[in-house]
Structure 1
Amino acid sequence: MLVPLGRALRWLGTVLVVVRGPGRERDLLVQSLKAALAALLAWLVAQVWLGDPMALMAPWVALVLVQATVYSSLVTGARQFAAICVGALVASGAQAVTDDNTGALALSVPVLVLLSNWRRFGDQGIYAATTAVFTIASGTVSVEAVGHRLGQAALGAVIGVAVNAFVLPPVHLRDVRENLAALAREAGEVLSAVAGDLREGEWNAQTAVGRLNTAKRLQDRLDALRSARGWSRESLLLTSGWLRTLHRAPTEALPSEDEDERLGRVTGHVTALTRSLAVAADEERSAAVPDPEVLRSYGKLLELLADSCHAEADRLLGEKEPGDPLLDERTDAAMRELHTALQEGLAQEAGQDAARTAVLGTLVLQAENLWADLNPDARGR
């Protein structure tokens, strides 16, 4: 009883997500309905309008060619049509030579499966072999029959690409913004966790290594951002002008690629900072642990930087007005005060322990780099 109820609740949650607003779930629903529409249209044209009693190839090809972007639909369509042509011709030739279905399968399918690995076919090469099976199973070998099958494939390709291009053409822009915001927020969470450790005196080798491993996982989010950026570029190909207007895609709101580079640098600074703290906490690698009071001040500075990361995430998602500064005057003043205190601590350490001075200097430099990338107005002050 509980299992069906849980499934029903999950389905209800998915439906609510789709209804609430744009998102991956709605994109998936739209793409699925478009693929079904393309297959149905191809079937109606081939079976009802053209009167083909075996209208299989057209809806099959149309269904497959409703891809994530119009560009990929065209590329996939060209590769698939080429594979289908090769499969139909090779199968028909094998059937003509052997005059036996089993012999034709044994002769053609191994060759076509091997040929399906040809890189020019991409991931569509397997359709050469499956087309051969359909061709041989139909039992009809003639120039007219082969031409008929290829015509069906071309019809399905045209309908599939047309439906994808003209019915809510897919334009993937939202993932870029969401991944940028998630990258900023996750970087802020790492900084906030490290700041808490330093303020509460729970900073040790084990904790520092754990924070470093968490920071390293930011690279996965950065990779996802780069992938999303690639999808957004591809989705804008061949959808310019009135096609993009049809989808009402807010292309002007897409964050620039400079944002990717800037937050990529932030990710690198956070990873480098946690690595420096992990090295300083490891007694086998460094005996130059900075003064606890100085580390507490550093923790306060990291907390402010974490707040800046969260504010950046809110700005990217439109939860703050674009004109708002990344750091308000009060936060900026507090950061400067803490920075001055750290500089004074650095000057005091310089007269006592050169190794400890080097560690603290590295930490201050990495915090300055973070501040500069999170708040470009801070540069040159």
Structure 2
Amino acid sequence: MPDRLRSALAGEARGIARSIRRAATSAGPERDTAVQALKAAAAALAAWALAGWWWNAPMALLAPWTAVLLVQSTVYRSVWSATQQFAVVATGTVIAAAAATLTHDVLAAMAIALPITVLIGQYSRFGEQGWYAPTAALFVLTYGSYGPMEIVHRLLETLLGAVVGVLVNALVLPPVHTGGVRQLRARVPSDCADLLRDAADGIENGYDSAAAEDWYARALRLGTTVAELESARRRSDESRRLNPGRRLRRSAPHPPAGGGDFRWERVAGHLSAVMRSLAETVRERPRFAAPPETALGALAALLRSAGEVCAVDADRFKAADADEERAVRAWEEAHDASRRLASHHTDPHGGPVTASLGELTAAATRLLDDLEAVAAPPAARRDR
């Protein structure tokens, strides 16, 4: 076995072992995945016991096949997918039965039914379930079972599997996804704080093109993290719809309020503007002249204090005793630094006014405008 392949397989095995260990020792996505897998298997067994053993249905396979597919990541998605799948399977079954009855030939019936069912499967309202239309048609035509009673049995068995899958997902540890929102909501200000502090240190100690480009890349990645937060929040909201978990087994913690998400999206944009301006002044062929040293000193103080505001906001999701006064003091210090930075536009002794200085001042001012609400005490904020 080549060394590269052996190393890849060993790394994959270690990753699987870590996932198994995390699933067994702590709550998280690995454990959620394991629980959903066990629930899907249980749903399939229950559907088979009802359709194959108790009912002795002629097409009992359809019940566990449907049940295992409908243990989705949320109860709402299970219900919606069950509705889609039953409609799709019924449509594909009826079209295939009609084509077989009309042609009395499997090949000719496929030539009629498959183009129609594949087109139906592309209908956006059916989502991922759309492809079960041609699958259902193929089941009907290849097994040659398209009599009226056989069609009714297929639909009833599919409906039985759908009901079992939905009930198992809703009644057995119904999934609620709130942890991802809380983790990402803390990560966004934490990453902002790290970037602001690193940039402030770099400005004070001297920075080069590589450092500035790295800051700019990190600022752009903040936008990706905010997008992940928005996606996680949508998933969390969906997981609470039609979910009886609070009444049956626990009161799931509510995710942090989302009123401030747009503010952090703007903060990420302001940071991108600041870091881009800094990078453009130290490239091999700079587009703009660098601001004077005194202006860069005020900018470094502003960024460091703004980083403290972000750090306090991150602490609010990690500990109950975040230092609220520290946030207020840091914002006031940042505001003072902002005034010193802006004074270079009017002070004749403050050095030349450059295009980069104007852009940095504008972006930093917008940044502080959005961080003012973040620095406010909890009682004064409406987005939490």
Query: Same fold by TM (over 0.5)?
Result: yes
CA contact (8 A) 2:121 2:131 kept: yes
What corresponds to 2:252 in structure 1? 250
Are 1:222 and 2:226 an aligned pair? yes
Contact 2:196–2:303 (8 Å) recurs in 1: yes
* 1:149-182 superposed Cα distances (whole Å, 9 cap, x missing partner): 0000110111011111111111111111112122
The one-letter code sitting in structure 1 at the alignment partner of 2:252 is P
CA distance 1:329–1:238, shift in 2 (3 Å)? closer
Spell out the pairing of 1:71-90 with structure 2 (5 A cutoff).
Answer: 71-90=76-95
Q: Percent identity?
A: 33
Residues 88, 132 of structure 1: 8 Å contact kept:
yes
Change (3 A) 1:261 1:2: closer
Cα distance between partner residues in 2 of 1:7 and 1:323: 40
Q: Please state how far the C-alpha of 1:81 moved relative to its aligned partner.
A: 0.5
CA displacement 1:333-365 (0-9 Å, x = unmatched): 765665565466666457653447635643652
Aligned pairs for 1:1-381 within 5 A: 6-204=11-209, 207-239=211-243, 242-252=244-254, 254-281=255-282, 284-287=286-289, 289-316=290-317, 319-322=318-321, 324-325=323-324, 327=326, 335=334, 338=337, 342=341, 348=347, 352-355=351-354, 358=358, 361-362=361-362, 364-366=364-366, 368-369=368-369, 371-376=371-376
Q: Which runs of 5+ in 1 are unaligned?
A: none
Q: Which moved more, 1:351-360 or 1:122-131?
A: 351-360
User: SS state of the match for residue 217, structure 1?
Assistant: helix
Q: Structure 1 pair 50/186, CA: closer, same or farther in 2 (3 Å)?
A: same
Work out whether residues 188 and 226 of structure 2, in 8 Å CA contact, stay in contact via their aligned partners in 1: yes
Mean CA deviation greater in 103-112 or 370-379:
370-379
Q: How many residues are treated as equivalent by the alignment?
A: 372
Residue aligned with 2:260, SS: helix
Q: Residues 295 and 225 of structure 1: is their aligned pair in 2 closer, same or farther, counting only changes over 3 Å? A: same
TM-score (norm 1): 0.86
Amino acid aligned to 2:127:
G
2:245–2:251: 8 Å Cα contact kept in structure 1? no
Distance of aligned partners of 1:321 and 1:349 in 2 relative to their CA distance in 1, 3 Å threshold: farther
Are the structure 2 counterparts of residues 364 and 43 from structure 1 closer, same or farther at C-alpha, using a change threshold of 3 Å? closer
* SS, match of residue 327 in structure 1: helix
TM-score (norm 2): 0.85
Q: Using the alignment, how far apart are the partners of 1:144 and 1:322 within structure 2?
A: 67
